[in-house]
Amino acid sequence: MSQKAHLMDGMIAEPAELRQTFGFSPEVVMLSEPKGARAEAIRMLRTHIMAQHLEDGRRGLAICAASGGVGATFTAVNLAVAMAQIGTKTLLIDGDLRNAQVDNFIRPSLAVEGLSQCLEREVIDLSANIQGDVVDNLSVMFAGEVSGRAQELLASDRFGEVVERCLRDYDLTIIDTPPANSCADGRRISTVAGYSMIVAKKHRSFVNDIKTLASQLREDRAHVIGTVLVEAKS
């Protein structure tokens, strides 16, 4: 797939003859600034994930943060794109059913169903809720409609079933989670995914908050594979 793009209202959209359904924020730096420092940092993270995660047969990864505004969704989206770019069949899930974030980075031109609808239905139909080939090798399950039952939906056995099927169908499933200081949803998602990575931002995140989150995740039997420090954008 060509990565040439046009700027449209602050978003990057692929040429109409190639793809009409999704726009990409300039913050998807793997597409907009592939030679920049932030994209290079994501590629270094990708190398670590390949060597220390996928090669050990681990297929799920929840992206967590102690607080908002530290770059967790930025990391989740760009890591997913980076993995797809090397041929890894990747699924990105927006697990924030209270305040969806992924569609700030990857924007469908038409309304799409997502995780919340998938969990509300009696029969799981991933094909109706996953957008395939958003870029080559990358599929996305958006959050769907904001739900007032987020905690209940994520605590259900159905959520576990959905994630289990995704882990079977994709080489890597990356789940973006809400910040830990807003709710406990990220801990639940991490437990189901089995593995988590904590994102922090220089001059914004507090060490004690990160340690507390790591301890909570381990108590919930979600293996923490590491912490990523996001540099403030210069």
Of 17 and 172, the one with more pLDDT: 172
> Do residues 204 and 66 touch, judged by C-beta distance below 8 A?
no
Closest CA to 20 of 102, 126, 131: 131
Pairing outcome for strands 60-64 and 131-135: unpaired
Provide the mean pLDDT of the chain: 90
Of 146 and 2, the one with more pLDDT: 146
Output Rg (C-alpha) for the chain, integer angstroms.
Answer: 17
User: What pLDDT, on the 0 to 100 scale, is given for residue 122?
Assistant: 85
> Do residues 197 and 62 touch, judged by C-beta distance below 8 A?
yes
| Residue located via tokens 């080559």 | 136
Confidence class of residue 1 from pLDDT cuts 50, 70 and 90?
very low
User: What pLDDT, on the 0 to 100 scale, is given for residue 224?
Assistant: 95
Confidence class of residue 56 from pLDDT cuts 50, 70 and 90?
confident
Beta strands in 79-204 (DSSP E): 90-94, 106-108, 131-135, 138-141, 172-176, 195-201
CB under 8 A, 24+ apart: contacts of 28-31? 28/77, 28/78, 28/81, 28/105, 28/106, 29/78, 30/78, 30/81, 30/82, 30/85, 31/3, 31/5, 31/81, 31/135
What is the CB neighbour count within 10 angstroms for residue 212? 14
Mean pLDDT to the nearest integer, 60-70: 96
Spell out the domains of the chain, with CATH numbers in brackets. Answer: 28-230 (3.40.50.300)
Q: Exposed, middle or buried, 6 (CB in 10 Å: 0-12/13-18/19+)?
A: exposed
Report the range of poorest mean pLDDT among 59-63, 177-181, 189-193, 227-231.
227-231
Mean pLDDT to the nearest integer, 164-178: 97
Task: For residue 108, report the phi and psi dihedrals to the nearest 5 degrees.
Answer: -75, 140
Segment 102-137, tens digit of pLDDT: 999 999 988 889 999 999 988 899 999 999 999 999
pTM of the model: 0.89
